[in-house]
Every structure is written in structure tokens, then in C-alpha cells.
Structure 1
Amino acid sequence: MSTPATTLGQRLRALRAARGLSQADLAGAAVSASYVSLIESDRRSPEPKVVELLAERLGTTVDYLLTGRDRGELSERRLRLRFAELELADGRAADARERLVELARDADAELRTEALWALVRAHEALGELDSALDGLERLIGAARRGEAVPVGLLPLLMRRCRLLSEAGDFGRSIDLGEQALEEVRGLGLEGSDDEIRLASTLVASYWGRGDLVTAQRLATRVVERAERNGSARARGSAYWNAGLVAEARGDVVLALGLVEKALALMAGEDTERNLARLRMTLAWLLLRAEPVDLARAGHQLDEAYAVFTRTANAGDLASCETEIARLQLLSGRPAEAAEVAGRAMGRLSARRSVEHGRARWVLGLALVADGKAADGLVECRTAAEELQALGALLEAAQAWREIAELSIGHGPAESVFEAFRKAVDCAGVKAPLPLPNRRQTAG
């Protein structure tokens, strides 16, 4: 079996032999036979005019001699990329992924990076976060090498920070996010829109880990820079994540004001998906307000779910279904809440994520409310353990605290004490040192 021609010289020699031409025949009067020999042995790179002349004599194209593909083949591959992007936009991420896997290995650098960027988004839509992160690392490496990528380095760093946080890897999200911020500021880009949005994403990572002091400090600085220099989209991003921190610190009224302001600023400025995610955050806050605003939360969730259904992003759909289940639970429909929470878990069955733990938590609460306390407490404990293992310590502490309350009257006192102890552990309170006895202190 013959080896495929992989260099210009090899392609030139193969075509010449196929045409039955000698090196002298191909050279003609324009170049020497020895020069053709040097090109075929890859010891000389011909000038563009010589490539054009040789392509004409061999009845081929310059594109084929330079890349091994003719213009028609390259156009066909670009068409396949466009079809994949249409499938992705139409919510058919699995179909898009099949096309994109091959295109992401393409020899044409520009086509390869465009396909890889689309493939990252397809993996994300399907909930395949590890594969999405692998693709992002390749794109970030290409951007750092100065290669052309479909989006800038900062948006890639921002997306990596967010996906690591969604996967529950808060430590790595924070470490890489801080490194990225130092790099950006070293380039003199502090206060730019991309820097503000990157810092806002980092705020969410600190919030997810339960480090509210650092999250609050960073959120305050980001909001100040955004109000001074940022666009409407950047200010909205800053307010959005500052709202998460305000809720965690117990100020739901402030959190609602910040998120509502973000929604007003970002309407028409951001993607449909981001706006839907912001509406879901607003609904999440409305379900925690006093009094709970069920009607308005339901409206926001309906708007968001319609968008997520079209885009078919597994993570978005699961997050929205978790909040819909919470709404149904608060509306006195625990059986329906359990069904929807179970559906959300099913969407995330192949992925280890904080969102899976949140969905399981709502399922557990729904089962308890539906009179199935034993089964519900098992789900709640498993959810709390998931959240704790993933590093979502604030949410885990809140879960263990509520489990302790739910366990009263439904189990032995030891289970109540154990839940309280785990809540304290997640909150970062260290166990006391053992007191010395008299024998140890006697002089």
C-alpha cells in the first residue's frame, strides 16, 4: 500500500509520475530539472509563482499542492462545519458533535480551531464537561501560541473558569481564574469589559466554594470598576454575581435589586441563553424571598425553560427543572416536584456536578413532604454528601443543617447530632482540642 503524499514535494512527485512526465518535462524552460528535484525532495520551498506554474502544468490547483486538498474539498468541509453549527443552534448537539469530531482534526489550522470551538459548545450542551474542558485547553494553548482562534483568549479563560465551577472543581476554577486575572492586568486590561466579566465569573466560583468574605471583597471591586468603565453587559455581569453573594450573606432584598438591575441592563445586550440563565437566577431568588413570590418566579422559569428547550443544553435544562421542582414543592405539589427533580437528575446522570446534588436535594425534600420521610432523608443525606465532596461547602452546610431539623422525630438522636456536626464541619468550624486530664498536667 502506498504512503499518502503529505508534503508539497511528495505531492509534486506523485502527480508528475501519474502524468508520465520526467523532471525535465515538468521543468520546461522556466526552471531547471535539478530545481524540480530539490522541490520533490523537500530541500527547497518554491516561490508562489513557481507553485502556480507547476500546478498549471500538472493540471491541478495551487491549493492542492500546498495543502493536499483542492479548493472544492476545502469548501465542502467548511459547508459541513456550517451545517454542524446550524445543528448546534437548533438544539441538535449530538448530531453536531458527530460532524465536528472529525473536522476538529482537520489539517487546515483555521478550520480546525473553528470546529474545535463548536465542538466545545456541543460537549457543553450535552453535559460532557470533561470533554468541553479538554477542548478549551487546546484552544487556550493555540491562542497563547499566537494562532488564530474564533474567539479571544479572555472569553476562553472565562468559559474555562465557569465550566470548572459548574463541574464542582471550585479550587481549580479559582486558581486558574486568579492566574488569568493577573495575566490580564499585567497586559494593562484592568477595567476592560472582558476583565470585568472574568472577575465576575471568579466571584461566582468563590461563592460556590462558600468563601463569602473573598467573594464579597472581589464583587465590590468589580462593581466599582464596572460602574466606572464597563458597558451595560459588563455591569450586568458584575451585578448578577454580586447578587449571589448578597443572597448568601442573608440580604435577599439587595440580591433581588442587583439581579433585576442586571436583567434590565443585559436585555438586548447578551445572548438569549445568558438572559435565560439570568431569569432563572431571578426566579431562584424569588423562591427565597419573604414572602415567596410564586407567580413571578413561575413566569421567569417558564421564560427560561422555553429558551433552554430550544437550545437543548442538558445542564441548563436540569438547573431550570430543579427550580421548577422547588416551585412545585412550595406550591404544595410534592409528588409533581419529585417527578421533575428526578428528571433533572436523569439529565445529569453521566456527569459529576453540583447541579446533580441540588436536584437530588429537592427530590429528597419533595419525598419528605409527600409523606415518605425515610426515603426522602436518604436522598437528602446523599445530596449533602455530594455537595460536600464537590466543595460546595456553603450549600452542604445549609443542607446538613436542614437535615438535622428534618431528622427530629424521624430517627435516632445520634443522626440529628451527626447532621449538626457535619454542618459545622462544612462551615469551617474546627473541632476543639481535647482537654488535658489531671494526670497529664501534674508536675
Structure 2
Amino acid sequence: MLDQPQFGRRLKRLRTARGLSQADVAGDDLSTGHLSRLESGARRPTERTVAYLAQRLGVEASALTGPPDGRSLSGVLAVVASAPPGTDSTEALSRAVEEDLGDDPAARWHALWLLTDAAGRAGDHQLEHTQVLELLALSRSLDAPDLHTRSLVRYARCTRAIGDMRTAEAAAREALSVARTAHLGVPDTLAALLELISIETELGLWEAASQLVDELEHDLLPRASAKQAAEALWTAAVVSSRKGEDAAAIARLNAALARLEGGQADLTVWTRLRTAATAAALQMSPPRVAAAEQWLAEAASVLALIGTPAQLQELHALQAHLAFAQGRFEDAALLSRAVLSEEDLRLPYRDRVRLSVLDGRLAIHAGRVEEGVTALQQLARQATESRNVDLAAYVWQALATTLAAGIRPSETSGMP
């Protein structure tokens, strides 16, 4: 068993990494005072207490009591950095962070950066949020503008994924301000600017987003790498689409995809842009079905081989949206229900809402009008309350379009 205070530090980090309070972990069989003394190192745990805490945290007892591997956090980072491609070092890195004494804040920031990246790619945005809060605090203490900007961008992206638009907007604005004040290079400034444009778009601030796009295209885009230029063009395309400028949006999407042809990017980026382009094409009015079908088929051919569970959920959700746009309502219903019923749903907030909207529209098409309308109204109110104006407008438009497609006036009596 680990000696104190190492046991206490590991216990606390396992608890906080899961977003649990001391009361959550203590439950009915352990007082919060006893738990607090264990975490502070003031009390040594019994085997029975260890077993109880492991059960409450959902881990093996060895996660609490296993011996350290003898390496410093810097040593583990060296192993992770030099590992062969395809090696999953997340568990070892998490253990090293739990056992770290905090002697090297820069090494801890590096480790947390890698862990938040892994959590984000896995679609575990709640875990990512917990880790990125410490990442952000460390970046402030290190007084390193580049690390602070990157932490803020990741924080903005994470909070946007869980639907906290107020926090996301403030973080993105701060990131851009820090990057500009510190005269950081194009990659950091562009990353902050792209995140802010995406957030402004989702907030329905399309003119503000358009002004940022003008700055992007005239100043940063000519100096960006192929990968960042592609992401910038895709982001600008979404703004064009929201403003109803679909021809410009399609042109920008094609330009974005062209930037990554000829082996200039890895398959992950190549695939991500195709799923993003598919989503944008399907949200146009009318949807650009042929383009969406082509881009999604290209993405699916790769994701079938290397897709993570989160990426496969995104793929299946997009396939449901495409089936609906093609008039294949039964296929759309099967696909949407399959994704929404998954126990571990890892879609970002916006994608979850859009798939739930599709489910409501399908209910209306199937004749369950009241059920579908009620679901869509609730989703629109939730999006409005979270300040996601663009998403709320999408929900109301989807409701109006679906009702106008063949529902008799008598079936909508009492509706606003």
C-alpha cells in the first residue's frame, strides 16, 4: 500500500478528475471528515476503506494503492514522446500525474495538455473540462503567453462542446487578446481567432464573425500552414452558410479540402474536414445532398478502419442526417435512434441537439405530431437559454419546415 501522503494525493486526484465532491465519494459508509483526513495524509487507510473508495470511484484498488513506477513525471513524458506510433500511454500518463509532487509545473502542464487532448479526441468532454481547468491555472502561474493562449483556446473549445457558450466566448476573446498582446506567431493567433469565429457564429453574431473572417483572410490565411488554412476556410464557409451565402460557402469548403490533397495532411485531419464539410452542406437551404454524400462516403471509408468510438458516433449521426435529406426516413430513424440510445454518448452539445432535432422531425413525419413538436420546442428553449442563438434558430426553422411539409392546420392547433 502507498504510504501517506502519496495515497491521499492519488485519492484526491482520482476524485477531482471525475468531477466528484468529497460527499459524493464518502457516500453513506464514510464521513467527509474521514475522507478529508485521508486526502490530506493525516490518516492511513485500512484495506476495507481502500476497497470501498475504489468501488465509489469506479477503479481497481491498485489505482489507489499500486506502487509508483519509479519514474518522475518528466521521465514518463520522455517515454510517451518516444513511444512507437499507436501506443496508448494515457493510463501511464494519468498515473504519473496523480503521483506527481508538483515540483515541475511545466512538465505537469505538458502532461495535462496530452491528457486533455486524449479526452477531447475520445469525446469525454467532462473529463477534459476537469483537466483543462488545472491546465489553465498552471499556464497562468508559468507566465508563458504561448502556453496560456493554447490553454485558453482548448478551454474555449471544451466549454463550447458542453454547451457553455458564455464561458467559451470569454475564453476565446482572452486567448486572442493574449496572442495579440504578446505578438505570438500565426499558428497561435489563428487558432484563437478561429475558435472565436466559431463561437460568434453559434451565438448568432454573424456580422461580428464576418468581420473576423475578413481579418483572417487578409492577414493570417496567406501565412498559415496547409492544415490551418484548411481549417480557416472551413470556419469561414460555416459563416457564409449561416448568412445564406451558400455559393460562397461551397467554394470555401472545396478550397479547404483542396489544401489537404496530395499527402499534405494526415488521415485524421483529412477525415475531420470531410465530416465538417458534410455537416455544413446538410445545414444549407436547400441541403447540398450530392456534395454531402460524396464527402461523407470518403470520410466513412477511413473511419471504418481507424475511427474512434466518438468519431463513429459522429459518422452515424451524419449518416442519419443525410438519409433524412434524401427522404429515407426509416433509415434516418434507425440511425438516429441507434446513436441516441448509446449508453456512452460522446457527441458535443451542438451535435447532440441537432440529432435530437432530427429525432423530433422524424416523429412528426411518422404522425406523432404532438410528441415531435413538444420535443423540438423544448430543445429550442434549451438552446436559447444557453445563448446558442444559431442553434435555437435552427431548431425553430426545422420545426416550421417540418410542419409545413404536410401537417394539416388542425394538427397544430394550440401551437405558437
Distance 1:2 1:274 in 2: 42
- TM-score between the two structures when normalised by the length of structure 2: 0.70
Structure 1: runs of 5+ lacking an equivalent? 7-68, 419-443
Asked if 1:211 is matched to 2:170, the reply is: no
Larger mean CA deviation between 207-216 and 338-347 belongs to 338-347
2:129 aligned residue:
133
1:175 Cα offset (Å): 1.0
Letter in 2 for 1:78: V
Give the 5 Å matches for 1:199-278: 199-267=193-261, 268-278=263-273
Distance 1:325 1:70 in 2: 47
Give per-residue Cα distances to partners, 1:143-166, cap 9 Å, x unaligned. 3333999x9443333222222222
Give the 5 Å matches for 1:294-443: 294-308=289-303, 310-314=306-310, 316-347=311-342, 349=345, 353-405=349-401, 406=403, 409=409, 411-415=411-415, 418=416
2:175 aligned residue:
180
Asked if 1:107 is matched to 2:100, the reply is: yes
2:32 aligned residue:
none
* Preserved CA contact (<8 Å) 1:240 1:259: yes
2:281 aligned residue:
286
Distance 2:151 2:121 in 1: 16
1:235 Cα offset (Å): 2.6
The number of equivalent residue pairs is: 346
Equivalent of 1:78, from 63, 76, 79? Answer: 76
Distance 1:270 1:202 in 2: 24
1:425 aligned residue:
none
Give per-residue Cα distances to partners, 1:237-262, cap 9 Å, x unaligned. 32211111100000111011112111
1:120 aligned residue:
116
Q: 1:122 to 1:288 in 2, by over 3 A?
A: closer
Larger mean CA deviation between 292-301 and 334-343 belongs to 292-301
Distance 2:365 2:82 in 1: 45
1:86 Cα offset (Å): 7.4
* Preserved CA contact (<8 Å) 2:77 2:93: no
Give per-residue Cα distances to partners, 1:263-284, cap 9 Å, x unaligned. 2224444453333221112222
Distance 1:345 1:117 in 2: 30
Partner SS for 1:414: coil
Identity of aligned residues (%): 21
1:137 Cα offset (Å): 2.6
Distance 2:297 2:267 in 1: 14
1:31 aligned residue:
none
* Preserved CA contact (<8 Å) 1:170 1:206: no
* Preserved CA contact (<8 Å) 2:150 2:175: no
Letter in 2 for 1:299: Q
1:299 Cα offset (Å): 2.9
Give per-residue Cα distances to partners, 1:4-54, cap 9 Å, x unaligned. 799xxxxxxxxxxxxxxxxxxxxxxxxxxxxxxxxxxxxxxxxxxxxxxxx
* Preserved CA contact (<8 Å) 1:361 1:384: no
Give per-residue Cα distances to partners, 1:358-413, cap 9 Å, x unaligned. 11011122233344434433433333233333322122123224424516536343
Asked if 1:167 is matched to 2:162, the reply is: yes
Distance 2:83 2:386 in 1: 33
